Amino acid sequence: MKQIAEAPFTGLFLLTVLLVIPLGCLDTIEIDLPQHDQSTRLVIQGVAERSDHAYRFFVEVSKTEKLTDFLKDEREDADIEILYNDQAIISLQNGSDYSIEIDSFHLLYGGSPESSLFNIRVKVGDSTFESISQPIFKVPEGASLKIKYEEREELNDEENVITQPYVKLLVTGPVTNSNNQRVSYRWDVSGVYLFREVIWTLDTSYDPRICYVSDPVSQNQVNIVSSGTVLGDTIRDYEIHETTADHRFATGYYYTVVQKSINEQAANYWKEISNSIDRSGTIYDPPAGIVSTNIRQTAGSTVDLLGFFYTAGVDTIRLLSTRDETGNQPHLCAHKIVSDVCCDCILIRNSTYDKPAYWQ
Q: Is 28 exposed, middle or buried (0-12, 13-18, 19+ CB in 10 A)?
A: exposed
Q: Which residues lie below 8 Å from residue 54, measured CB to CB, with a gap of 6+?
A: 99, 100, 101, 102
Does residue 199 carry a pLDDT above 50?
yes
Q: Which pLDDT belongs to residue 201?
A: 62
Does residue 266 carry a pLDDT above 80?
yes
Residue with the larger pLDDT of the pair 49 and 279? 49
Q: Which range among 21-30, 237-246, 253-262, 288-297 shows the weakest confidence by mean pLDDT?
A: 21-30
Average pLDDT of span 28-37? 47
Most confident option among 11-25, 137-151, 204-218: 137-151
Residue with the larger pLDDT of the pair 129 and 288? 129
**Which CA distances in Å does 28 have to 33, 103, 134, 170?**
15, 75, 61, 63
CA angle 324, 327, 328 (to 5 degrees): 60
Does residue 234 carry a pLDDT above 80?
yes
Q: Which range among 109-118, 124-133, 222-231, 257-266 shows the weakest confidence by mean pLDDT?
A: 222-231
Binning pLDDT at 50, 70 and 90, where does residue 221 land?
Answer: confident
Does residue 72 carry a pLDDT above 70?
no
Average pLDDT of span 107-125? 96
Q: What is the pTM of this model?
A: 0.80
Does residue 318 carry a pLDDT above 70?
yes
Largest CA distance in the chain: 109
Q: Which pLDDT belongs to residue 294?
A: 94
Q: Which residues lie below 8 Å from residue 240, measured CB to CB, with a gap of 6+?
A: 169, 170, 171, 187, 189, 223, 257
Does residue 54 carry a pLDDT above 80?
yes
> Could you give the CA distance from residue 190 to residue 316 in angstroms, rounded to a whole number?
11
Q: Which pLDDT belongs to residue 334?
A: 85
Q: Which pLDDT belongs to residue 220?
A: 64
Q: Quick one: what percent of the chain has pLDDT higher than 70?
A: 80
Q: Which pLDDT belongs to residue 253?
A: 97
CA angle 255, 256, 262 (to 5 degrees): 135
Does residue 303 carry a pLDDT above 80?
yes
Average pLDDT of span 174-195? 96
Strands 351-352 and 161-174: unpaired
Considering Cα of 100, then 106, then 112, then 116, what sign does the dihedral take?
A: negative
Q: Please report the domains of the chain, with CATH numbers, ordered by start residue.
A: 42-130 (2.60.40), 144-352 (no CATH)
Q: Which pLDDT belongs to residue 10?
A: 46
Most confident option among 62-76, 152-166, 340-354: 340-354
Does residue 4 carry a pLDDT above 80?
no
Does residue 12 carry a pLDDT above 50?
no
Q: Which pLDDT belongs to residue 264?
A: 94
Does residue 121 carry a pLDDT above 60?
yes
Binning pLDDT at 50, 70 and 90, where does residue 25 land?
Answer: very low
Binning pLDDT at 50, 70 and 90, where does residue 70 land?
Answer: very low
End-to-end Cα distance, the chain: 94
| Backbone φ, ψ for residue 341 (5° rounding) | -65, -20
Q: Which pLDDT belongs to residue 16?
A: 46
Q: How many residues does the chain have?
A: 360
Average pLDDT of span 300-312? 92
Average pLDDT of span 139-159? 92
Q: Which range among 68-72, 156-160, 261-265 shows the weakest confidence by mean pLDDT?
A: 68-72
